[in-house]
C-alpha cells in the first residue's frame, strides 16, 4: 500500500537530511506506528506519502501509484484515497460537526444525496451521534479529534495518516481516539500513525517503525515504544 | 451542487473583503471608463479629420475701403482689375483646384448661418464684411505653401488657413484622447495590482478552508475558481459602471456637441467601445487573479 525504496529528502538550506535512505513497506490493512523524537523525520515521511514534498532520491509508491510519475493535476485524486488527521484537528470553526464532515465531500463534488447518507453514518462510527449540530468550540479536544477523524474517513480512504492525533489530548481521552482508529483499521483501511505517546504504542501492540535522524533504527511487528523513552 | 458551492464561496470572499472589492470596482470602472472615452474621442477625431481634410480651404480676404490691415493701409479698396489679376494668379498656382469668389452679401449670409451671435448681427452690415476668394486645394497638406506664395499680393488683406484652425482643434482633441488613454493605462495597472492584492487577502483569509480542501483532494479548479470568480465579478461590476459612465458621457457630452460633428457618435460605436472595455476589464481581472493564485495557492 505504501512502499518507500531508498528514499532521501533534504530540505533546502539544511545540510542534514530529513530522511536518509529510508526503505519501508506497509501492506494493505496494516496498522503502523511511526515513532521517534521530534525532528526524526516522521512528519516528512507523512508529507512524502501525500506528495506535499518530493524526495531528492528514491522511489515512493502509494496505493499502487509511482508518485514520481504522478502528474500534478492527478495529485488531488491521490489525496482522495488518503485521509489525514492532525494534532491541531484543523476543523472549520464556523461550521458545525455535520458541515465540517460534509465539507470534505462537497469540495470533491459528491452529490448531495450521497453526502446526506454517509455523513451521519461516519459521525456515528466515531462516536459522536447526537452531536452533529454542535459547533467545534462546544466540543472537547477529544470530540474535536473525532470530528477530524470522521472527516478523514468519510470518503472511505485506503490509507489514513495520523500525525500525533493524541498530542493535544489527555491520556484517558486518547484511549477513545485509539479505539476509533482501530475501528477504522478493521474496515480494511491502512493506518499510519506518527506519535510520541509511549503508553499508546505499548498498549496497542502493533507494528512499530522507529526513526532517528532520518534513518530507520527499528522495524518491529507487535512492538513497543522502546526502552530509551 | 458545484456551482452552488462556488458561488457561496465567491459571495463570502467578496463580502469579507468589502473595502478592497469596492476599490477594485471603482478602479476598474474609472480605468475602463477613461479607456472608453479615449476610444470614443478617437473615433470622432478620425471621422472629423476625414471629413474636414477634404474640404480644407484657404480664405483670401481682400482689402476693403478703410481696411486697417497693414497690407491695405492707405491703398483703398481693391479694384476690379486687381481682383481679376489676383484670381488668375491664384488659379495659376499648381496646387490650387478651384477658386470661388465670395462677395459681401454672401459673406453676410454665411456669417448669419454659421451662428454669429445676435448682438453682433444687429450691429454688422454686409458692407462691414470683406470680400474674399475661397481657394480649394488639390492636396490639403500644401496649404501653407500656397498661403506663403499669396501673402503680399496686391489687394490681399489677410489669409486664413483653415488647416491651421483645424490642426489646432484636432491637436487639442488628440491631446485629450492621449491623456484619457494615458490615465486609462495607469488605472488598468492600478486595477491589476489591486485585484492581485484582493485575491491574495482572500486566499490568506481562507487559508484554513483551502488547506483542508487540498488535503481531502479537491481539484485545483475547485480550490481556485472561487478566487478567480471573485476578481472577475468585481471586474464585471466595474465594467458595468464604466458602461453606464460611457453612456452618460455620450448623452451629456458627445450628443451636445453633435452639431459641430459631421458624423455623430452612434450607439453602434458606443456598443463596440463598451464591449471592448468590458472584455479588457474581465481579461485583466482573470490574469491578475491567476498570476496571484499561482504564487499563493500552491498545490
- The 10s digit of each residue's pLDDT in A17-35 is 999 999 999 999 999 999 9
Residue B123 predicted with pLDDT over 50: yes
Lowest mean per-residue pLDDT among A138-147, B133-142, B225-234, B256-265: B256-265
Judge: A77–B212 Cβ closer than 8 Å, yes or no: no
* Residues making up chain A, counted from first to last: 229
pLDDT at position A117, please?
95
> Do residues B47 and B58 both lie within one domain?
no
Q: State the average pLDDT over residues A41-58.
A: 93
> Do residues B108 and B203 both lie within one domain?
no
Q: Does residue B3 belong to the interface with chain A, where contact is any CB pair within 8 Å? A: no
> Do residues B41 and B172 both lie within one domain?
yes
- Give percent above pLDDT 90 in chain B: 7
Residue A110 predicted with pLDDT over 60: yes
> Do residues B284 and B268 both lie within one domain?
yes
3-state secondary structure chain B: CHHHHHHHHHHHHHHHCHHHHHHHHHHHHHHHHHHHHHHHHHHHHHHHHHHHHCCCEEEEEECCCCCCCCCCCCCCCCCHHHHHHHHHHHHHCCCEEEEEEECHHHHHHHHHHCCCCHHHHHHCCHHHCCCEEEEEECCHHHHHHHHHHHCCCCCEEEEEEHHHHHHHHHHHHHHHHHHHHHHHHHHHHHHHHHHHHHHHHHHHHCHHHHHHHHHCCCCHHHHHHHHHHHHHHHHHHHHHHHHHHHHHHHHHHHCCCHHHCCCCCCHHHHHHHHHHHHHHHHHHHHHHHHHHHHHHCCC
> Do residues B93 and B156 both lie within one domain?
yes
Of B127, B162, B197, the one marking the end of a domain is B162
Interface A–B counts its CB contacts (< 8 A) at 58
Interface confidence (ipTM) of the complex: 0.86
- The 10s digit of each residue's pLDDT in A124-133 is 999 999 999 9
pLDDT at position B99, please?
84
- Give percent above pLDDT 90 in chain A: 79
> Do residues A215 and A173 both lie within one domain?
yes
Query: What residues pair up with A25 in beta bridges, in sequence order?
Result: A3
Distance from C-alpha of A224 to C-alpha of A124, rounded to nearest angstrom:
31
For B2, nearest residue in chain A (alpha carbons): A109
Distance from C-alpha of A163 to C-alpha of A90, rounded to nearest angstrom:
12
> Do residues A7 and A76 both lie within one domain?
yes
- The 10s digit of each residue's pLDDT in A194-208 is 998 888 999 889 999
Distance from C-alpha of A34 to C-alpha of A46, rounded to nearest angstrom:
10
Distance from C-alpha of A214 to C-alpha of A217, rounded to nearest angstrom:
9
**Contact list, B214 vs chain A (CB under 8 Å):** 76, 79
Of A156, A172, A195, the one marking the end of a domain is A156
Of B162, B178, B205, the one marking the end of a domain is B162
- DSSP 8-state assignment for residue A54: -
Lowest mean per-residue pLDDT among B32-46, B109-123, B206-220: B109-123
Residue A227 predicted with pLDDT over 70: no
> Do residues B98 and B71 both lie within one domain?
yes
Of B142, B162, B182, the one marking the end of a domain is B162
Judge: A104–B212 Cβ closer than 8 Å, yes or no: yes
pLDDT at position B207, please?
87
**Which phi and psi (to 5°) does residue A161 adopt?**
-100, 130
Of A156, A183, A202, the one marking the end of a domain is A156
Domain assignment of residue A117, given as a range = 92-156
Residue A168's Cβ-count burial label (10 Å; 0-12, 13-18, 19+) is: middle
A121 lies in some domain: yes
Supply A93's cell numbers. Answer: 470553526
Residue B292 predicted with pLDDT over 70: yes
> Do residues A71 and A165 both lie within one domain?
yes
Instruction: Report the residue of B7, B13, B206, B217 to disrupt the A interface, i.e. the one with the largest count of A CBs within 10 Å.
Output: B217
Closest C-alpha among B165, B149, B158 to residue B57: B165
Q: Does residue A111 belong to the interface with chain B, where contact is any CB pair within 8 Å? A: yes
> Do residues B117 and B197 both lie within one domain?
no
CB A20 within 8 A of CB A213: yes
Closest C-alpha among A77, A87, A91 to residue A150: A91
Judge: B208–A112 Cβ closer than 8 Å, yes or no: no
Question: What is the end-to-end Cα distance of chain A in Å, rounded?
Answer: 30
> Do residues A71 and A161 both lie within one domain?
yes
Number of C-beta neighbours around residue B221 at 10 A: 12
Question: What is the end-to-end Cα distance of chain B in Å, rounded?
Answer: 23
Cell 458551492, residue located: B5
**Looking at the 3D structure of chain A, how many domains does it have?**
2
pLDDT at position B162, please?
77
CB B21 within 8 A of CB B197: no
> Do residues B210 and B244 both lie within one domain?
yes
What's the pLDDT band for A118 if we cut at 50, 70, 90? very high
Distance from C-alpha of A160 to C-alpha of A30, rounded to nearest angstrom:
11
> Do residues A10 and A72 both lie within one domain?
yes
Q: State the average pLDDT over residues A115-143.
A: 95
**Looking at the 3D structure of chain B, how many domains does it have?**
2
Domain assignment of residue B240, given as a range = 2-52+167-296
What's the pLDDT band for A229 if we cut at 50, 70, 90? very low
> Do residues A58 and A106 both lie within one domain?
no
Residue B163's Cβ-count burial label (10 Å; 0-12, 13-18, 19+) is: buried
Judge: A108–B216 Cβ closer than 8 Å, yes or no: yes
Supply A96's cell numbers. Answer: 458545525
- The 10s digit of each residue's pLDDT in A147-199 is 999 999 999 999 999 999 999 899 889 999 999 999 999 999 999 999 988 88
pLDDT at position B124, please?
77
Q: Which among B5, B215, B217 has CB closest to A77?
A: B217
What's the pLDDT band for A101 if we cut at 50, 70, 90? very high
CB A123 within 8 A of CB A129: yes
Q: Does residue B215 belong to the interface with chain A, where contact is any CB pair within 8 Å? A: yes
Furthest-apart CA atoms within chain A: distance in Å? 52
Q: Does residue A113 belong to the interface with chain B, where contact is any CB pair within 8 Å? A: no
Q: Does residue A104 belong to the interface with chain B, where contact is any CB pair within 8 Å? A: yes
Supply B140's cell numbers. Answer: 490639403
Residue A72 predicted with pLDDT over 90: no
CB A150 within 8 A of CB A142: no
Collapsing DSSP to helix, strand or coil, A77 comes out as helix
> Do residues B120 and B19 both lie within one domain?
no
Closest C-alpha among B279, B284, B298, B277 to residue B196: B284
> Do residues A149 and A161 both lie within one domain?
no
3-state secondary structure A100-132: HHHHHHHCCCCCHHHHHHHHHHHHHHCCCCCCC
Cell 501673402, residue located: B151
Closest C-alpha among B131, B192, B141, B146 to residue B163: B141
Sorted by sequence, the CB contacts under 8 Å of residue B73 that are 6+ apart come out as B67
> Do residues A161 and A48 both lie within one domain?
yes
A86 lies in some domain: no
What's the pLDDT band for B92 if we cut at 50, 70, 90? confident
> Do residues A15 and A75 both lie within one domain?
yes
C-alpha dihedral sign at A38, A39, A42, A48? positive
Supply B2's cell numbers. Answer: 458545484
> Do residues A169 and A67 both lie within one domain?
yes
Residue B117 predicted with pLDDT over 70: no
pLDDT at position B2, please?
67
Of A156, A181, A200, the one marking the end of a domain is A156
Amino acid at each position: 500500500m505504501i512502499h518507500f525504496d531508498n528514499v532521501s529528502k533534504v530540505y533546502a538550506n539544511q545540510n542534514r537530511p530529513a530522511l536518509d535512505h529510508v526503505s519501508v513497506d506497509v501492506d494493505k490493512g496494516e496498522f503502523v506506528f511511526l515513532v521517534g523524537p521530534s525532528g526524526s523525520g516522521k512528519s516528512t515521511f507523512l508529507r512524502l506519502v501525500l506528495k506535499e514534498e518530493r524526495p531528492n532520491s528514491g522511489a515512493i509508491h502509494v496505493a499502487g501509484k509511482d508518485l514520481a510519475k504522478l502528474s500534478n493535476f492527478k495529485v488531488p485524486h491521490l489525496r482522495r484515497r488518503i485521509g489525514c488527521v492532525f494534532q491541531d484537528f484543523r476543523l472549520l470553526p464556523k461550521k458545525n460537526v455535520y458541515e465540517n464532515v460534509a465539507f470534505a465531500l462537497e469540495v470533491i463534488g459528491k452529490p448531495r444525496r450521497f453526502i446526506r447518507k454517509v455523513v451521519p453514518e461516519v459521525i456515528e462510527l466515531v462516536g459522536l451521534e447526537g452531536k452533529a449540530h454542535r459547533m467545534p468550540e462546544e466540543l472537547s479536544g477529544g470530540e474535536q479529534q473525532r470530528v477530524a477523524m470522521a472527516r478523514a474517513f468519510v470518503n472511505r480512504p485506503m490509507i489514513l495518516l495520523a500525525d500525533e492525533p493524541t498530542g493535544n489530548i489527555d491520556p484517558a481521552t486518547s484511549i477513545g481516539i485509539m479505539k476509533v482508529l482501530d475501528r477504522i483499521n478493521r474496515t480494511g483501511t491502512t493506518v499510519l500513525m506518527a506519535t510520541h505517546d509511549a503508553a499508546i504504542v505499548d498498549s496497542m501492540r502493533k507494528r512499530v517503525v522507529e526513526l532517528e535522524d532520518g534513518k530507520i533504527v527499528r522495524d518491529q511487528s507487535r512492538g513497543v515504544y522502546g526502552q530509551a523513552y | 451542487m458545484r456551482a452552488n458551492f462556488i458561488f457561496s464561496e465567491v459571495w463570502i470572499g467578496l463580502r469579507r473583503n468589502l473595502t478592497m472589492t469596492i476599490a477594485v470596482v471603482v478602479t476598474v470602472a474609472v480605468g475602463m471608463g477613461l479607456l472608453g472615452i479615449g476610444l470614443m474621442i478617437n473615433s470622432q477625431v478620425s471621422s472629423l479629420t476625414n471629413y474636414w481634410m477634404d474640404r480644407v480651404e484657404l480664405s483670401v480676404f481682400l482689402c476693403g475701403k478703410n481696411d486697417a490691415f497693414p497690407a491695405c493701409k492707405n491703398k483703398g479698396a481693391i479694384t476690379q482689375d486687381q481682383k481679376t489679376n489676383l484670381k488668375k494668379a491664384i488659379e495659376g498656382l499648381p496646387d490650387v483646384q478651384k477658386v470661388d469668389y465670395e462677395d459681401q452679401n454672401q459673406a453676410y449670409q454665411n456669417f448669419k448661418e454659421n451662428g454669429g451671435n445676435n448682438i453682433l448681427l444687429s450691429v454688422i452690415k454686409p458692407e462691414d464684411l470683406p470680400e474674399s476668394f475661397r481657394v480649394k486645394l488639390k492636396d490639403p497638406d500644401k496649404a501653407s505653401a500656397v498661403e506663403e506664395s499669396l501673402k503680399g499680393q496686391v489687394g490681399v488683406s489677410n489669409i486664413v488657413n483653415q488647416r491651421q484652425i483645424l490642426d489646432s482643434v484636432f491637436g487639442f482633441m488628440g491631446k485629450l484622447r492621449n491623456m484619457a488613454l494615458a490615465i486609462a493605462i495607469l488605472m488598468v495597472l492600478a486595477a491589476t495590482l489591486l485585484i492581485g492584492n484582493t485575491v491574495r487577502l482572500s486566499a490568506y483569509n481562507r487559508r484554513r478552508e483551502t488547506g483542508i480542501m487540498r488535503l481531502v483532494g479537491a481539484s485545483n479548479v475547485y480550490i481556485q475558481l472561487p478566487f478567480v470568480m471573485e476578481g472577475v465579478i468585481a471586474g464585471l461590476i466595474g465594467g458595468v459602471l464604466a458602461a453606464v459612465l460611457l453612456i452618460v458621457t455620450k448623452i451629456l457630452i458627445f450628443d451636445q456637441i453633435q452639431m459641430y460633428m459631421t458624423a455623430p457618435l452612434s450607439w453602434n460605436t458606443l456598443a463596440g467601445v463598451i464591449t471592448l472595455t468590458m472584455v479588457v476589464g474581465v481579461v485583466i481581472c482573470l490574469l491578475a487573479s491567476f498570476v496571484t493564485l499561482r504564487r499563493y495557492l500552491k498545490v
